[in-house]
Structure 1
Amino acid sequence: MEKKIKLALCWHMHQPHYRDGLDDIYRLPWVYLHAIKDYADMAAHLEACPQARVVVNFAPVLLEQISDYAGQMRAFLAEGAIMRDPLLNLVAGASPVPAEPEARAEIIRACQRAYAPTMIDRYAPFRTLVDIAREQYSAGELDTVRVSYLSRQFFVDLLVWYHLSWMGASLRQKDFRVTRLLARKNNYTAVDQQLLVEVMADTLEGIIPRYRALQQRGQIELSLTPYGHPIVPLLLDFAAMQPSQPAAPPPQSPAYPGGEARARWHVERGLEVFEQHFGHRPKGVWLSEGGVSSAALGLLDEFGFDWTASGEGVWRASCELSRISPQDLEHKKLLYRPLSHPPRHCALFFRDDGLSDLIGFHYKSWRAEDAVNDFCHHLENIRQFLRDEPGEQVVTVILDGENAWEYYPDNAYAFLSTLYRRLAEHPRIELVTFSEALAACGGQALRELSQLRAGSWVYGSFSTWIGDKDKNDAWDLLAEAKTCYDRVMESGLLSQEKSAKAAEQLAICEGSDWFWWFGDYNPADSVRDFDQLFRRHLIRLYQLLEKIPPQKLKNPLSHGGGGPSDNAGTMRRNG
């Protein structure tokens, strides 16, 4: 029988903590918008192709926010309760359309936060509304008189269309309520606004049960990321940056205080949240951003995880340090095997950056059939090259499960449905989960990496999160806050309830996303949003500790201002 090449597809679902630490308001709407577009569609594709098998990774902080939004929407529908998201309240009619020019300008800005070629231009009524909105500006400045003449109905329609543009293909095709709203085109009523919130509430309430059902059917393997999405190797040791960034300056703080205990807290809390939502303990973990080190694997061993994964850059550097023979590195032969790093027990899978980036960045402009043919052709070539190699091989493709699809036509509906169908039916390709790939090894000893160079899936380094002035300044602010936290905890002056809240608030501050966005190369608007949220989260931490926040937390850390970037800066390509 002809040997098949195994393919492990892993979709990572993650959004940072967007709820403001000071007023409990969601400052950015990406959790519920990605839920109605991407988390719903990704489940629908799998439900439509029962033969497909993939790994789906959820960040616990995302699971909590999905549940929170679902509860808020249901309370609004049942009791008229105001929700904690300004944009959501506006589209629901819970908040009136404001009269103030600047508040109206903010609605106009918010309703253009989408990729225009696929999400605005495809809908003529929405395109017309956006064109009218842009006419309220002259030489880049808001005409306050002109915008004041726009009717309330204009803003209601703009808000409704913005949310309709975020509806996933599965909802547009199968939910009659969405079809009805799309067909109306304009002059949306309060009844229509209520209907839109019903669709979103039903969708968000269904996300977790749908993925749980897919897991129970054996179609997907669910894995997790540590709770707040921290870069675990950097929590453990700032020196983890040095092997891949020898010339980059580290933060002034010599280390993150008590980082090992905090890394352990994130794993423990992440497991707790995961089990609350899915009812079982996962076998694998995608450490935030694929960030690995020997010490991080040691932590995973403590919790009995079977596998983790990282990027091709980490694989290559580790192979070179481990003096792997050139024959095994030729054409990336050893990339396509699960590996071990003694004395650690947790197995390592490594991402094929080229194949992953084809999906993440390149195929968006291809015809779906051509893209899938090309992808399968690459896999066939790998299979052919490895056909005489002993043991089990597996090709690993890992990427975000939400950020790529808006750049495809129709939220990648044609591409993903064709991809799943073709892979599931292919006579020489076998879709597997990471646990299945390990089981196929039959208990045989894995090839070893004697050295594991610390790094992430982005460039094989931690340069996206540390080593730049703005990023280092953020680490120093965080380390200063952690030192204060430690002193207060040691004093025993806080109640048990307040101590628990402070520990969770600290976890939010330790998330990787704040550091991702700091730097001149990122879009200024996004840098401003994340900079402000980070500093406000730190201020809230000091408040919970009953300490006065440092004055410097009022000053912006980073300004951004870089030119256009891939997928609005939400993803990084390695090729």
Structure 2
Amino acid sequence: MRKNRVDAKRYFEDRVKIDPWIDLMLKDTKNFTDDDLAYVYKNPWNCFSVSEVVMDRFPEYKELKSKDPKTYTIEDIRKIKFFFYLANFDPDFLNGSVTLPNGTKVDLTDIVEKRNGRYYLKKEITEEDCNRIVAETYKILSSIVPVHKKLMYDPVKKTGQIEVITTPFYHPILPLIFDSDIAKVCQPQDKLPTRFNYPEDADAQVKKSIDYYEKIFGRKPLGMWPAEGSVSEQVISIFAKNKIKWIATDEKILYRSNSSVKEFYYPYRVDEDTIKGNKNENGSVLIVFRDTKLSDAIGFTYQNYDPETAADDFIKYVLSFAPEDPNEERLISVILDGENAWEWYRKDEDGKGFLNALYRKLSKLYKSGQIVTVTMSEWIYGNPKRGVRPHPITQHYEIEPLYPGSWINANFDTWIGEDEENLAWEYLLKVRNDLKRLNVPKPLELNKVPKYGTKEFYEFKAWESIYSAEGSDWFWWYGGDQTGLGGDEPFDLGFRTHLINVYKFLQKAGYKVEIPDFLFKSILKKQ
């Protein structure tokens, strides 16, 4: 980092495989092969894969996209790969020097300048510049965890500003891993696959996540976002037993659940099935339901607003829920995919104006006591320093039972119920049943890789492969409801590769198994 440079020679000699676009940046453009050029501009995912709003901020980049690829020069291709990185940098790094938590600085103003709201290159791009931009990228990425460590709220010391949570490790739809037949409740008309029923895998996905979080942040998480906001009554026991205190999903789940109150601005208590009249929070989990309208406004509506207007609209909406009784409190949760919104803000670069205006207004309203921003840990355990009283889990309204579903359609139909999706579940079940039949021991430590080449190492890798295949995104792309950019084939291949690898690792561990022929057959109906 001192030299702002990557040792490209060693990188390629060591055969490091991280990301093909890193390879592009460290490889001399004049030596590009057809495979390299595919990543530059031929493949569906390429160096022009940024939003049109972002592209408009880089006129030279946009001009290269509109140019006939047959006329691209070496210099053009070098610029294209460089712009792909540059366009993904936060604007703060393009507008001046930024000091990172480790004391290093990122300053790209010798390469790029801003004129009339657009960014232009100040020099001809060289291979050294391409190498440097990878180093600058590394510096920023390596600062992400330290920044969050610095800002994260400590519920014991009552210090910090943000709460860092996690999600089940390989992002599975946890209720379906626990018992896929739960989809019969929310999708009664859909044909479902043979029952997948492995609660122990759901537990492992949560445990792996908690263990990994603790290694990074030095303490266990108190909250968890179930992948895609997917919940069911059954999985509450897994969260409770693993000492997860709160989870979240969409308000549509609340309206379908059984509760004496149905207002999204209250958190609710969900108990383990085995507990009746529970007075001990260890068997309960607090669940919050997002304000869908407000969350979607940030994701989709405010991108077309003036920043101040958007912030005012947000505040006005929140204040509309203020109770008449000054002793009554309401908790409004804003939950959205944080990476998707900002690149589409047309009148406000990266949403910076909106965010600054919003926090400025919230700070003012906090001082007057009208709106208090809280982390969920603050809400549950209180923070006298900020005038937040405790709200023990057991004192909240109870939901019994919790309706099964996700934050998409309040069901699981994005991942199960269509023919392709169901076939993928059949594939997964057959492989998972083979692991059970062979009695392959699970790792003693879920995230600790045993010594390379040992029987335990290959057994560990077999389990990792099945856990990976349980991830939600493979099933997301199957069926007609979602189609990937350029097709679903890469996801189908990825899913089946994980399942095939289960057998490859078992063979290396000494098990007498053959790879089933069906795994070499695509799940997709249309090739």
Matched with 2:246 is: 307
For residues 125-150 of structure 1, what are the alpha-carbon distances to aligned partners after superposition, in whole Å with 9 as ceiling and x for unaligned?
10111111xx23xxxxxxxxxx3x63
Aligned CA distance change for structure 1 residues 363 and 274 (closer, same or farther; 3 Å) = same
Contact 2:414 2:481 in 1 (8 A): no
Letter in 1 for 2:139: D
Asked if 1:190 corresponds to 2:127, the answer is yes
**1:338 pairs with 258, 267, 275, which one?**
267
Q: Deviation of residue 74 (structure 1)?
A: 8.2
Aligned CA distance change for structure 1 residues 249 and 398 (closer, same or farther; 3 Å) = same
Asked if 1:245 corresponds to 2:187, the answer is yes
Equivalences for 1:526-545 in 2 at 5 Å? 527-545=488-506
For residues 73-100 of structure 1, what are the alpha-carbon distances to aligned partners after superposition, in whole Å with 9 as ceiling and x for unaligned?
9874694445422211112226764243
Matched with 1:181 is: 111
Aligned CA distance change for structure 1 residues 94 and 482 (closer, same or farther; 3 Å) = farther
SS in 1 for 2:163: strand
Aligned CA distance change for structure 1 residues 162 and 507 (closer, same or farther; 3 Å) = same
Contact 1:312 1:335 in 2 (8 A): yes
Q: 1:94, 1:482 → 2: CA distance?
A: 45
Q: 1:313, 1:441 → 2: CA distance?
A: 27
Q: Deviation of residue 459 (structure 1)?
A: 1.6
**2:481 pairs with 500, 509, 521, which one?**
521
Asked if 1:432 corresponds to 2:374, the answer is yes
Equivalences for 1:414-453 in 2 at 5 Å? 414-426=353-365, 427=368, 428-439=370-381, 440-443=389-392, 445-453=395-403
Q: Give 1 or 2 for the bigger CA radius of gyration.
A: 2
Equivalences for 1:140-179 in 2 at 5 Å? 147=70, 150-175=72-97, 177-179=107-109
Q: 2:502, 2:401 → 1: CA distance?
A: 38
Equivalences for 1:4-15 in 2 at 5 Å? none
Aligned CA distance change for structure 1 residues 375 and 235 (closer, same or farther; 3 Å) = same
Matched with 2:386 is: none
SS in 2 for 1:545: helix
Matched with 2:470 is: 510
Q: Deviation of residue 450 (structure 1)?
A: 2.2
Contact 2:440 2:459 in 1 (8 A): no
Matched with 2:62 is: 127
For residues 423-458 of structure 1, what are the alpha-carbon distances to aligned partners after superposition, in whole Å with 9 as ceiling and x for unaligned?
222232111011112233444621111221111111
Q: 1:559, 1:429 → 2: CA distance?
A: 52
Letter in 2 for 1:340: R
For residues 227-262 of structure 1, what are the alpha-carbon distances to aligned partners after superposition, in whole Å with 9 as ceiling and x for unaligned?
1111111111112212211101111x2224xx1111
SS in 1 for 2:438: helix
TM-score normalised by length of structure 1: 0.75
Structure 1: give runs of 5+ residues left out of the alignment.
Answer: 1-69, 137-146, 562-575
Equivalences for 1:270-309 in 2 at 5 Å? 270-309=209-248
Q: 2:499, 2:30 → 1: CA distance?
A: 32
Letter in 2 for 1:496: E
Matched with 1:88 is: 22
Aligned CA distance change for structure 1 residues 354 and 496 (closer, same or farther; 3 Å) = same
Asked if 1:455 corresponds to 2:405, the answer is yes
Q: 1:279, 1:466 → 2: CA distance?
A: 37
For residues 405-429 of structure 1, what are the alpha-carbon distances to aligned partners after superposition, in whole Å with 9 as ceiling and x for unaligned?
2112422222222222222222321
* Total equivalences in the alignment: 460
Q: Deviation of residue 376 (structure 1)?
A: 0.7
Contact 2:492 2:524 in 1 (8 A): yes
Q: Deviation of residue 302 (structure 1)?
A: 0.7
Contact 1:539 1:549 in 2 (8 A): yes
Of stretches 213-222 and 76-85 in structure 1, the one that deviates more from structure 2 is 76-85
Matched with 2:516 is: 550
Q: Deviation of residue 202 (structure 1)?
A: 0.2
Aligned CA distance change for structure 1 residues 408 and 208 (closer, same or farther; 3 Å) = same
For residues 389-418 of structure 1, what are the alpha-carbon distances to aligned partners after superposition, in whole Å with 9 as ceiling and x for unaligned?
865320011111212221124222222222
Q: 1:205, 1:74 → 2: CA distance?
A: 15
Q: 2:28, 2:428 → 1: CA distance?
A: 37
Letter in 2 for 1:551: D
Q: 2:414, 2:326 → 1: CA distance?
A: 36
Equivalences for 1:18-97 in 2 at 5 Å? 76=7, 79-81=10-12, 82-84=15-17, 85-93=19-27, 97=31
Matched with 2:196 is: 255
Q: 1:355, 1:424 → 2: CA distance?
A: 19
Asked if 1:206 corresponds to 2:206, the answer is no
Of stretches 105-114 and 351-360 in structure 1, the one that deviates more from structure 2 is 105-114
Q: Deviation of residue 164 (structure 1)?
A: 0.6
Letter in 1 for 2:497: R
Contact 2:28 2:127 in 1 (8 A): no
Using CA pairs under 8 Å that are at least 6 residues apart, name the structure with larger relative contact order, 1 or 2.
Answer: 1
Letter in 1 for 2:195: P
Matched with 1:58 is: none
Q: 2:148, 2:96 → 1: CA distance?
A: 19
TM-score normalised by length of structure 2: 0.81
Contact 2:170 2:467 in 1 (8 A): yes
Between the aligned residues of both structures, percent identity stands at 28
For residues 161-211 of structure 1, what are the alpha-carbon distances to aligned partners after superposition, in whole Å with 9 as ceiling and x for unaligned?
111111112322334632223243563112211210111010111111111
